[in-house]
Amino acid sequence: MMETLKIEMIHDVVCSWCPIGYSHMRKALQRLNIEADFHFLPYELNPDMSVRGEPIDRFFERRYQWGQSKLLDYQENLVAVAAAADVNIDFSKRSHYYNSAKAHQLMHWAEGYDRQQALNELLIDAYFKRGLDISNPLILLDLVEQLGLDSSKAIQVLYSSAVDEQLLLKKQRVQQLALPSIPAFIINESTLISGSKSLSYFEQVLVSMQE
């Protein structure tokens, strides 16, 4: 019997390419009939983002000096690549980047209930498809209720100023990897894949690991 792979995905909740990489990895596992135990490690692309977030067009103008035309070309390509991976990114609703610190806190908490993967999928739907503010504790608590978890415990997590020691260790571990980009995947704590990659690429790596 084939062993269950441990897959740790390094991601940010607001990273456009992370749900694409996640979908490619899941499809590759399904095609090859490989069981996997998913875990998620936090990477904040914009840790200094304000609580109000920032309009995406303003963000690209400020950071990369992109005009509207270049941004629209990029978004059009991104939406097409995402759709091919069965990921819905709707820029008519997804207008802002948001601070993802609280969402990562919640993801860490959900791991204790073996609900990280389910929460990740709810967050993808909430942010990329519906454009919701995933920095808002009330929106995050709604996701907790959808998962059937204890919202009173989640409130303590989301409103506490204390930093969970285990979450801090996860962040330090990710920083030590000095990744060139995210998403990234650590398979069985040994093989590192950086980038969203193609479905066929993930399949090739997974097949080689079974040989």
Give, for all 211 residues of the chain, the pLDDT tens digit: 468 999 999 999 999 999 999 999 999 999 999 999 999 999 999 999 998 999 999 999 999 999 999 999 999 999 999 999 999 999 999 999 999 999 999 999 999 999 999 999 999 999 999 999 999 999 999 999 999 999 999 999 999 887 789 999 999 999 999 898 999 999 999 999 999 999 999 999 999 987 7
**pTM of the predicted model, to two decimals?**
0.95
Q: What is the CATH number of domain 5-210?
A: 3.40.30.10
3 state SS of 89: coil
Residue whose token pair is 């995210």: 182
pLDDT of 118 = 98
Please check whether residue 119 is in contact with residue 110, taking contact to mean a CB–CB distance below 8 angstroms.
Answer: yes
Distance CA 4, CA 1 (A): 9
Residues 142/149, Cβ–Cβ less than 8 Å? no
C-alpha 179/C-alpha 182 separation (Å) is: 7
Tokens standing for residue 134: 């995933």
Under 8 Å CB-to-CB from 124, ≥6 apart: which residues? 19, 22, 87
Contact 19, 124 (CB under 8 A): yes
